[in-house]
Amino acid sequence: MKSSCALGNAKGHLPRILCVDDNIFFTRIISQLLADSGYEVETVATAEEALPRITAHERGYDLIITDSRISGLGGTGLIAALRAISYPARIIATCIDITPRHLKRCQELRVDRILKKPIELSELLRAVQALVAQGKGNGSI
C-alpha cells in the first residue's frame, strides 16, 4: 500500500516512511494517519520484504517504523541489518511488551524511539514529527 499527501519538505519531496508490521489493520491506520499528516508512506508485512525495498530505492526512507517482534527475520533483525550497512533512517520500534532484555537490545541497535502497543495515534504522530524534523541519523533512544 502506498499513500501520499501534498505537503513537501525543503527538497520538494515528501518525507518518506516505511511501516513494517504484519498487522494489516495497524498498517492501514498508521498509513492513513501519516499520509494525512503530509508523509509518503509505504507498508510491508515482513523484514524480508522491507530489506530489498529499503536498499533498492534511490532516495531512501527518512523513517522506518517496525514491529520489533514480527515473524521471520523480525524487526530487531531488520534494524540490525540496517545498522550494519549504516543506513541513515531514523527508526521507531513498536512492541506489545517491552521487557528489560528487549529494551537493552533496542538500545544496542540505537533505535531512536520505542513505542508500546497499543499506540496512541497522537503519541506516534508526535514521535514521527520529532524524528523527521531531526533528519536522518544513526539512532539513540
Per-residue pLDDT of the chain (141 residues; tens, 9 = 90+): 433 333 344 456 899 999 999 999 999 999 999 999 999 999 999 999 999 999 887 789 999 999 988 888 889 999 999 999 999 999 999 999 889 998 999 999 999 999 999 999 999 999 999 999 998 765 554
pTM above 0.85, yes or no: yes
Q: Find out whether 90 and 139 touch, Cβ atoms under 8 Å.
A: yes
Task: Domain 2-134: state its class.
Answer: alpha beta
Return the C-alpha torsion angle 130, 135, 140, 141, nearest 10. Answer: 20
